[in-house]
């Protein structure tokens, strides 16, 4: 039978060791893979590729069926972009699936019954990397949440639950504070959930949801969340299941897929033969299943479970009571390879189901909305106190547009500010018409020209729109 082409990258830090241990097992199990190795990460960054990838290797990734990537080290500081985020977003790998399962009593955990899959949105949120320093005091990260982006990941979570026979999908977001962006995520969740009557659904505000997850993970089944929450909480979930070294992940898109450990390159263990290769190995099994090698994935997973049951453990999961021998990365890989063909005796046997090919997500058609311009927020660089420049700006107006509000870091400071409010050098001036009357963009340009003429330092503007008569901007003054 012909071999299936895949791309691999051994990455940085512990990457090469855990990749070699994983490939040793795949090879011993007879996985029919044609391996194309590429180099990404630290070396590519040092060669001057700011995203950690030589553009020439995209074609290799694109022309193979899947990409198995070991962790890489992201250089600190400006000028570099995360390779992981670049690959996920460039290839449209919108769904990041992270199963966090406990292997008690063989691996110590306070949560013996834990079996949670985190489905993390992978393309937007705070990971768009659009950031600015706007004034000496102020920096900004743009957090983008779109309707199609939310719908794709939420539909994927429900489809995943249906395919895997899971009972419930929970959504975490912070819609009580970010009413527009997380509010949209929750709204789309409610709309999509209504179409899956055979799957339970529930919503938690992310802070209390996170506390419940850390305390009682058995309450959850599949959890879908925006990018940053999913990144943080999947590490929490992995660690409380036993170790971050145990969780692999699949990054799934319409045109490709990438498989990786959820942890990073753990540079302090590089070359030490200490790291647990299980996360990358389990990621490689998700990959085998994805490319149709389900039987090989099943064979390896059960051998891995048997090794865990045998008490052959790496340092991160070693425990005097339940472990039998402490092994290094390489020896752990060899032990799993030796166990091929054996099954676990106590832990649940795993059987991978043949994957259907990726079902393109069909997005709901939204009726066109009437969008009306009703004003503008102008952000300015000005040293507090407000009295230094208030006299000038209260006089600025154009047609029906008047100054109606000034805030500092979102807190109302005019009219009726409070003396205790701490201010930085970054103010927002809201110009709007009474009753949100529609205005033309010319009037906004006129306001900007007036401010400029007065020597007010304008940083940026945000237009205020009504969508079908509903404000598309936050109105709370405090």
User: Contact residues for ligand NAP (CB under 6 A)?
Assistant: 14, 18, 71-74, 84, 244-245, 260, 263-268, 275-276, 279, 316
Pairwise CA distance, residues 286 & 97, whole Å: 10
The alpha carbon of 149 is separated from its chain's Cα centroid by a whole number of angstroms, namely 12
Q: 7 vs 276, which CB is nearer to ligand NAP?
A: 276
Pairwise CA distance, residues 325 & 318, whole Å: 8
Q: 44 vs 447, which CB is nearer to ligand NAP?
A: 44
Instruction: Tell me the C-alpha to C-alpha distance, in Å, between residue 29 and each of 1, 284, 304, 315.
Output: 15, 12, 12, 25
Shortest distance, position 231 Cβ to ligand NAP, whole Å: 9
Q: 15 vs 375, which CB is nearer to ligand NAP?
A: 15
Shortest distance, position 76 Cβ to ligand NAP, whole Å: 8
Distant-in-sequence, close-in-space partners of 238: CB < 8 Å, separation ≥ 6: 98, 100, 244, 246, 247, 262, 263, 279
Shortest distance, position 148 Cβ to ligand NAP, whole Å: 25
CB 112 within 8 A of CB 104: yes
Shortest distance, position 68 Cβ to ligand NAP, whole Å: 12
Shortest distance, position 14 Cβ to ligand NAP, whole Å: 6
Q: 122 vs 135, which CB is nearer to ligand NAP?
A: 122
Q: 151 vs 316, which CB is nearer to ligand NAP?
A: 316
Q: 245 vs 375, which CB is nearer to ligand NAP?
A: 245
Distant-in-sequence, close-in-space partners of 403: CB < 8 Å, separation ≥ 6: 393, 394, 396, 397, 429, 430, 431
Q: 247 vs 374, which CB is nearer to ligand NAP?
A: 247
- Number of residues written out for the chain: 478
Distant-in-sequence, close-in-space partners of 326: CB < 8 Å, separation ≥ 6: 313, 314, 315, 318
Q: 230 vs 264, which CB is nearer to ligand NAP?
A: 264
Shortest distance, position 62 Cβ to ligand NAP, whole Å: 20
Q: Which two tokens stand for residue 374?
A: 């009703």
Q: Which two tokens stand for residue 424?
A: 């930085």
Pairwise CA distance, residues 7 & 464, whole Å: 46
Distant-in-sequence, close-in-space partners of 114: CB < 8 Å, separation ≥ 6: 100, 101, 102, 217, 218, 237, 240, 241
Shortest distance, position 19 Cβ to ligand NAP, whole Å: 11
Shortest distance, position 83 Cβ to ligand NAP, whole Å: 7
CB 172 within 8 A of CB 210: yes
Q: 185 vs 332, which CB is nearer to ligand NAP?
A: 332
Shortest distance, position 281 Cβ to ligand NAP, whole Å: 10
**Helix, coil or strand: residue 155:** helix
Distant-in-sequence, close-in-space partners of 443: CB < 8 Å, separation ≥ 6: 398, 399, 400, 401
Shortest distance, position 257 Cβ to ligand NAP, whole Å: 15
CB 332 within 8 A of CB 307: yes
As a whole number of Å, the end-to-end CA separation of the chain is 66
Q: 200 vs 270, which CB is nearer to ligand NAP?
A: 270
Tell me which residue of 20, 45, 13, 54 sits closest to 35, measured CA to CA: 20
Shortest distance, position 319 Cβ to ligand NAP, whole Å: 14
Hey, what long-range contacts does 452-460 have (CB within 8 A, 24 or more apart)?
454/392, 454/393, 454/396, 456/380, 456/382, 456/389, 456/392, 456/393, 457/380, 457/381, 457/382, 458/378, 458/379, 458/380, 459/134, 459/135, 459/379, 459/380, 459/381, 459/426, 460/134, 460/379
Shortest distance, position 97 Cβ to ligand NAP, whole Å: 14
Q: 75 vs 148, which CB is nearer to ligand NAP?
A: 75
Q: 271 vs 415, which CB is nearer to ligand NAP?
A: 271
Distant-in-sequence, close-in-space partners of 236: CB < 8 Å, separation ≥ 6: 210, 213, 214
Q: Determine the residue with CB nearest ligand NAP.
A: 264
Q: Which two tokens stand for residue 188?
A: 């789309």
**Helix, coil or strand: residue 126:** helix
Shortest distance, position 139 Cβ to ligand NAP, whole Å: 20
Q: 221 vs 316, which CB is nearer to ligand NAP?
A: 316
């Amino acid at each position: 039978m012909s071999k299936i082409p895949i791309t691999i990258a051994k990455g940085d830090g512990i990457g090469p060791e855990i990749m070699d241990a994983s490939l040793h097992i795949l090879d011993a199990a007879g996985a029919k893979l044609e391996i194309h190795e590429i180099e990404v990460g630290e070396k590519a960054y040092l060669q001057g590729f700011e995203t950690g990838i030589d553009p020439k290797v995209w074609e290799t990734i694109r022309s193979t069926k899947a990409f198995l990537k070991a962790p890489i080290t992201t250089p600190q500081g400006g000028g570099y972009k995360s390779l992981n985020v670049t690959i996920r977003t460039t290839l449209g790998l919108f769904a990041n699936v992270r199963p966090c399962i406990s292997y008690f009593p063989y691996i110590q955990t306070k949560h013996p019954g834990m079996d949670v899959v985190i489905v993390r949105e992978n393309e937007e949120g705070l990971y768009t990397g659009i950031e600015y320093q706007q004034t000496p005091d102020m920096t900004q990260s743009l957090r983008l949440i779109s309707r199609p982006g939310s719908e794709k990941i939420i539909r994927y979570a429900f489809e995943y639950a249906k395919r895997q026979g899971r009972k419930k999908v929970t959504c975490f977001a912070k819609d009580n504070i970010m009413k527009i962006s997380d509010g949209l995520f929750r709204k789309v969740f409610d709309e999509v959930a209504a179409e899956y009557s055979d799957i339970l659904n529930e919503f938690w505000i992310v802070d209390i949801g996170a506390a419940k997850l850390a305390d009682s993970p058995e309450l959850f089944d599949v959890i879908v969340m925006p990018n940053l929450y999913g990144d943080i909480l999947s590490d929490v979930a992995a660690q409380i299941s036993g170790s971050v070294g145990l969780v692999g992940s699949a990054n799934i898109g319409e045109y490709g897929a990438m498989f990786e450990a959820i942890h990073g390159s753990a540079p302090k263990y590089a070359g030490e033969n200490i790291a647990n290769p299980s996360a990358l190995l389990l990621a490689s099994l998700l990959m085998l299943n994805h490319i149709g090698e389900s039987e090989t994935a099943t064979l390896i997973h059960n051998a891995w479970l048997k090794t865990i049951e045998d008490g052959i453990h790496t340092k991160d999961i070693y425990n005097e009571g339940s472990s039998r021998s402490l092994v290094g990365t390489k020896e752990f890989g060899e032990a799993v390879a030796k166990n091929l063909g054996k099954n676990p005796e106590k832990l649940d046997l795993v059987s991978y189901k043949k994957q259907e090919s990726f079902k393109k997500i069909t997005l709901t058609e939204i009726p066109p909305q009437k969008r009306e311009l009703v004003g503008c927020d102008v952000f300015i660089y000005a040293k507090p106190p407000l009295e230094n420049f208030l006299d000038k700006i209260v006089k600025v107006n154009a047609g029906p547009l008047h100054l109606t509000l000034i805030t500092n870091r979102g807190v109302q400071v005019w009219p009726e500010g409070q003396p205790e409010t701490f201010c930085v050098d970054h103010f927002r001036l809201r110009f709007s018409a009474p009753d949100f009357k529609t205005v033309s963009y010319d009037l906004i340009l006129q306001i900007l020209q007036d401010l400029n003429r007065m020597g007010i330092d304008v940083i940026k503007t945000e237009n205020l729109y009504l969508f079908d008569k509903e404000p598309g901007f936050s109105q709370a003054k405090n």
